[in-house]
Chain A
């Protein structure tokens, strides 16, 4: 079984500053993947970044990076140079190696970027 915990219901950041969204996970699988998604008010789930459990380096995708600390079971998302368009709900999710790729999501963090 997999579990994702996102402890920040809401976060605020000033435009152009960096922000970290927290995610901790629990799994019994040795091989797993961690994902972050952005969900604007329109409802679409937009894939942002992926980290495999055996990846030695932290994943980066443009302004998004993942601070992966396997021993602490955390996979925090860092958004650099925040933009007004980053305001949205953000979800962390995990897919275990034996789960056919199905995702288990956390409860999400609402990010608001102030001008």
Chain B
């Protein structure tokens, strides 16, 4: 069991650039969740996959955000035209007990 891994752990970008985060879940888990956590707050749900199907999306996920999980394995979260308000920790989980270490985004 290698756990949930996320890449990159830290990303600094300029406003307007696109960024992509990757999540590799625990291999036998077919669920995958993305959460966003801003400083001093609890994580907020963004989206959920069951295998390759994206079954739920939060209203927080604006049209600049897109998530995919091809073949039901790893997942990517892309943010287009980043804004300073996108600065946050993006957490991936493959169960309610298995979270990754997160990808911290800073938009300058």
A33 B96 Cβ-Cβ under 8 A: yes
Q: Give the B interface residue count (CB, 8 A).
A: 25
A106 touching B42 in the complex, CB below 8 Å, given contacts A43-B89, A45-B93, A95-B96: yes
Quick one: which of B42, B93, B97 has the most chain A CB within 10 A? B42
Pick from A43, A50, A100, A107: contact of B55, CB below 8 A.
A100
Inter-chain residue pair count (beta carbon < 8 A) = 60
Pick from B44, B50, B95, B104: contact of A105, CB below 8 A.
B44
B96 A105 Cβ-Cβ under 8 A: no
- Which chain A residue has the least Cβ–Cβ distance from B43? A105
Which A residues are CB-close (under 8 A) to B99? 37, 44-47
- Which chain B residue has the least Cβ–Cβ distance from A100? B48
Shortest CB-to-CB span from B49 to chain A, Å, is 10
- Which chain A residue has the least Cβ–Cβ distance from B56? A100
Is B41's beta carbon under 8 Å from chain A? yes
Shortest CB-to-CB span from A47 to chain B, Å, is 4
Pick from A101, A106, A107: contact of B96, CB below 8 A.
A101
Shortest CB-to-CB span from A72 to chain B, Å, is 21
Is B45's beta carbon under 8 Å from chain A? yes
Pick from B45, B91, B102: contact of A102, CB below 8 A.
B45
14 residue pairs of the A-B complex, CB under 8 angstroms, read A4-B42, A42-B101, A43-B91, A43-B102, A43-B104, A100-B48, A100-B56, A101-B31, A101-B95, A102-B56, A105-B44, A106-B42, A107-B41, A108-B41
- Contacts A103-B35, A103-B45, A107-B42 supplied; 9 other A-B pairs, CB < 8 Å: A33-B96, A43-B91, A47-B96, A47-B97, A50-B97, A95-B96, A102-B33, A103-B33, A107-B40
